[in-house]
Amino acid sequence: MAMAGSDQAAGWMMLDRFVYRRDEDNDGGGWRFPDESTAPLRATSSTSLGRPFDVAILHAEPPAVSRLYVRWPGGTKGKYGSSAGTALMAAHRDLILFQLVSMEGHITHDHFVCIASSDPAAGPHMELKRLPVCTIPMVLPPCSCEEQDTEEETPSCEEEDTEDATMRRVFFPNTLGLIRGREEEFAVAQLAMVTKIRGAHRMEAEV
């Protein structure tokens, strides 16, 4: 990752793939959400359910590893549900893509793009943009009849699916890519690989 507006030597960092989540500050423990003096790259936003959260990047000069911290004020239990999760999805240049999962009634996935920059006068700065929900479903191909080398009984073609099946699109960290374009342009791409059940050697991919 590299911060916009900074020189190449001082503006890039190696980012840990693990997200350090802090539900609340613990006075009795040795862990706290980084303060502004140690992590000036920070921002605040809210999920699609209106739940606030804080993000901070604890920068370390390479080859040391920088860390992404997320804090849920008030914790992740109670009226906000029994659990909440965070995952780092991708990074490119001055952008970081991460996912927040809220389990409140039903599972909600929010995706945010973190934009980091450094200005000689104002210093380090970071902003968050929540991406719109993707409504394009995943289309699974029908299961087709194939000759089997074994003597196991298999369903006839009449019993097998002959139409494509659709399901809600799911984004996993190892399927997403983030591409930084010119000026403020960026794109998020997903590679979805679908295996046909009755022939594991046959696969399809879409971007």
Q: Which two tokens stand for residue 126?
A: 């970071």
Strand partners, 53: 45
What pTM was computed for the model? 0.72
The pLDDT score that the predictor gives to residue 90 is: 93
DSSP string, 23-86: SS--TTSS-----TTT--EEEEEE-TTS-EEEEEEE---TTSEEEEEEE-TT-SSGGG-SEEEE
The pLDDT score that the predictor gives to residue 107 is: 80
Q: Using CA atoms, how far apart are residues 12 and 10, in angstroms rounded to an integer? A: 6
Question: pLDDT per position in the chain (207 positions), as tens?
Answer: 666 655 544 568 899 999 998 766 554 455 688 999 999 999 999 998 888 899 999 999 989 999 999 998 766 554 544 467 889 999 998 899 999 988 777 788 899 999 988 777 777 889 999 999 888 888 776 655 554 555 555 555 455 556 777 877 888 878 889 999 888 899 998 887 666 555 555 555 565
The pLDDT score that the predictor gives to residue 54 is: 93
The pLDDT score that the predictor gives to residue 137 is: 85
